[in-house]
Chains A and B, each alone.
Chain A
């Protein structure tokens, strides 16, 4: 089945060029010129991935991102023209699964989209995992904490599965980046740091003093078993 992408971008020419190039990569690309239009289309139709420019007029890209996140775990890749840590981190904090900076190549973007869509699968481990009062069922893609379901995005979910699957061993940051995001490692640990933070907010009793996902300084993270 063809992957349906919604490209939210206010620049007409970028919209056209990216639409053509992503079409060449085999995607079914629809576009929206503003946040309002994007939200309206997302209400009516289903998409597999949203490409979201952060610098939109009207409803800000970050707001669109937050709104979409509150509705479910639709994969979101934010596109930003600014590379400052601030812009990237706020986009990821708003719930994006990944980010790319302009000028982006459709081929790179395509690799990222495919990696993101693969994240739903069971990964390396298939059996039910238990970490304290957290139960992870990779086959069904469900996480329960103390009996009630925790809603994770597929990226957060995959991150948790990779950490829990190591059974308390340290998983290096590079390993996590490669296994979860899957594309060429480029040392951008902001992606990982923000997702760890998001994960902690959802599964830790006290996110400021993590007891489940522990940081190992200088090497990576590990699950407290």
Chain B
């Protein structure tokens, strides 16, 4: 089972706590009040019965008992029974003497006054029994009114208990939300930092419990920001320091290459080796700097890009690809992307196909449910399954012999695609060759 959040736990605990306290109070109140009221009612019933018994006692001797009993009944629901040996006199609401508990009648017969709460004909009653001469006097007093009062009080207490529990839960919810608000601020700030905004800070906290946490958090982020800045400054300096000598080397190489015919034999061979390696080195440094820049800063400049147009434009810059068919599902196929990075993705995939598989044989832009696909097919030797993930890692080249690549081309593809929330993979192409597939989320 999923653990409840702190907020809900606090709300539930407070709700239960309030429920417990108020129900204990309600039960106590109920017991005291109902007991007291019942005793009052019983007391008055006994007093009434005592007066009546005295009157009955007199009339037992003088006769006219029936009229007296009729006059004595206090309401339509009350009943009086006088049990004499062999004769039963009743008045008021008719009651079967058999419905009365024997124990009560026995008490009366033995000459002891007693009272008991009983249910007669579905009505709650107090039965008071008293000895009269050689008979037993029983009077039943209805408790209906008292019962209604009890129902009213118990309803009130139950409603009050439930209401206070709900109120407690609500208060718990409110209070915990309030108490957790600094935490959600912390969470929001941490999320901003995670997404690359190192300027995010927590607002100063007045509460001494939170002050230290906020200060520690802010100082840690400030240190992190300084460090990131230092790192990026270092990368920028390295970039500058590497690019300058490379510029000299590449251009000096170009000058020498033009004069290759002047250097016959081994010297010429060595020069070719030197200049081609310098070019490769320059490409590697540029790719490496681009990847390390990717690691650090995010200068995303996203715009709506028509993938079909982008493919046609990149291909247009390569005369050797003029014959390659380009299939575009529908136009425009729009993605939200950094145009430069997408260009780089396609350029590197084309370079890869040219370098390892004799060039691409088909390019396609297709559209799926919520993504678009860019496919680059070649008719080369294909990529064995065990290398299909590894080729997207940095400096993971299949064969080194005669390779002029930087070893970072596909790694850059992978990073750029990931940055756009997409994925790239390679699969077999029918009948021969490899198919590189870039999948990007649709715009909007």
**Is A187 interfacial (CB 8 A cutoff)?**
yes
B315 to chain A, nearest CB (A): 10
Cα A221 to Cα B303 in complex, Å, equals 14
Name A218's closest neighbour in chain B (CB-CB): B304
Contact of B243 among A16, A102, A174, A187 (CB under 8 A): A102
Name A55's closest neighbour in chain B (CB-CB): B240
Evaluate whether A11 and B334 lie within 8 angstroms (CB atoms) in the complex, with A17-B255, A20-B251 already known: no
Q: Which residues of A contact B286 (CB under 8 A)?
A: 103
Q: Which residues of B contact A104 (CB under 8 A)?
A: 247, 250-251
Q: Which residues of A contact B290 (CB under 8 A)?
A: 83
* A217 and B339 form a contact (CB under 8 A): no
**Is B340 interfacial (CB 8 A cutoff)?**
yes
Contact of B304 among A83, A107, A217 (CB under 8 A): A217
**Is A24 interfacial (CB 8 A cutoff)?**
yes
Give the interface segment out of B135-143, B306-314, B402-410, B434-442: B306-314
B284 to chain A, nearest CB (A): 11
Cα A103 to Cα B244 in complex, Å, equals 7
Q: For B246, B252, B306, B334, which residue has the most chain A Cβ atoms within 10 angstroms?
A: B252
Chain B interfacial residues counted at CB < 8 A: 41
Cα A132 to Cα B282 in complex, Å, equals 49
Chain A interfacial residues counted at CB < 8 A: 34
* A102 and B247 form a contact (CB under 8 A): yes
**Is B208 interfacial (CB 8 A cutoff)?**
no
Cα A106 to Cα B248 in complex, Å, equals 10
**Is B287 interfacial (CB 8 A cutoff)?**
no
A131 to chain B, nearest CB (A): 25
Q: Which residues of A contact B254 (CB under 8 A)?
A: 21, 24, 105-107
B411 to chain A, nearest CB (A): 18
Cα A106 to Cα B246 in complex, Å, equals 13
Q: Which residues of A contact B313 (CB under 8 A)?
A: 174, 185, 187
Q: For A21, A188, A219, which residue has the most chain B Cβ atoms within 10 angstroms?
A: A21
Evaluate whether A83 and B250 lie within 8 angstroms (CB atoms) in the complex, with A102-B243, A217-B304 already known: no
Q: Which residues of B contact A16 (CB under 8 A)?
A: 248
Name B318's closest neighbour in chain A (CB-CB): A184
Cα A16 to Cα B251 in complex, Å, equals 9
Evaluate whether A106 and B251 lie within 8 angstroms (CB atoms) in the complex, with A81-B239, A185-B313, A185-B314 already known: yes
* B240 and A105 form a contact (CB under 8 A): no
* A11 and B244 form a contact (CB under 8 A): yes
* A18 and B343 form a contact (CB under 8 A): no
**Is A82 interfacial (CB 8 A cutoff)?**
yes
Interface code B151-162, partner A: CB below 8 Å = 1, 0 otherwise? 000000000000
Cα A55 to Cα B237 in complex, Å, equals 12
Cα A16 to Cα B313 in complex, Å, equals 36
- Name the interface residues of B324-375: CB closer than 8 Å to any CB of A: 332, 334, 339-340, 342-343
Contact of A218 among B240, B248, B250, B334 (CB under 8 A): B334
Name B290's closest neighbour in chain A (CB-CB): A83
Evaluate whether A189 and B339 lie within 8 angstroms (CB atoms) in the complex, with A83-B293, A85-B299, A218-B334 already known: yes
Interface code A84-126, partner B: CB below 8 Å = 1, 0 otherwise? 1100000000000000011111110000000000000000000
**Is B301 interfacial (CB 8 A cutoff)?**
yes
Cα A24 to Cα B248 in complex, Å, equals 15
Evaluate whether A18 and B299 lie within 8 angstroms (CB atoms) in the complex, with A13-B245, A103-B243, A188-B340 already known: no
* A21 and B255 form a contact (CB under 8 A): yes
Q: Which residues of B contact A218 (CB under 8 A)?
A: 303-306, 332, 334
Evaluate whether A103 and B316 lie within 8 angstroms (CB atoms) in the complex, with A174-B309, A188-B340 already known: no
Q: Which residues of A contact B343 (CB under 8 A)?
A: 186-187
* B317 and A187 form a contact (CB under 8 A): no
Name A23's closest neighbour in chain B (CB-CB): B255
- Name the interface residues of B217-262: CB closer than 8 Å to any CB of A: 236, 239-240, 243-252, 254-255, 258
Q: Which residues of A contact B244 (CB under 8 A)?
A: 11, 14, 81, 102
* B301 and A85 form a contact (CB under 8 A): yes
Cα A24 to Cα B252 in complex, Å, equals 11
Cα A83 to Cα B299 in complex, Å, equals 11
Interface code B115-154, partner A: CB below 8 Å = 1, 0 otherwise? 0000000000000000000000000000000000000000
Contact of B240 among A13, A82, A107, A185 (CB under 8 A): A82
Cα A11 to Cα B339 in complex, Å, equals 33
B253 to chain A, nearest CB (A): 9
Shortest Cβ-Cβ A-B pairs, 3 listed = A218-B304, A187-B343, A102-B243
Knowing that A107-B254, A184-B317, A186-B317 touch, tell me 7 more A-B residue pairs with CB under 8 angstroms: A13-B245, A18-B247, A21-B252, A102-B243, A103-B246, A187-B342, A189-B339
List residues of A whose CB falls within 8 A of some B CB. 11, 13-14, 16-18, 20-21, 24, 55, 81-85, 101-107, 172, 174, 184-190, 217-219
14 A–B contacts, CB within 8 A, in A order = A11-B248, A13-B245, A14-B251, A17-B247, A17-B251, A82-B236, A172-B309, A185-B317, A187-B310, A187-B343, A188-B340, A190-B301, A218-B303, A218-B334
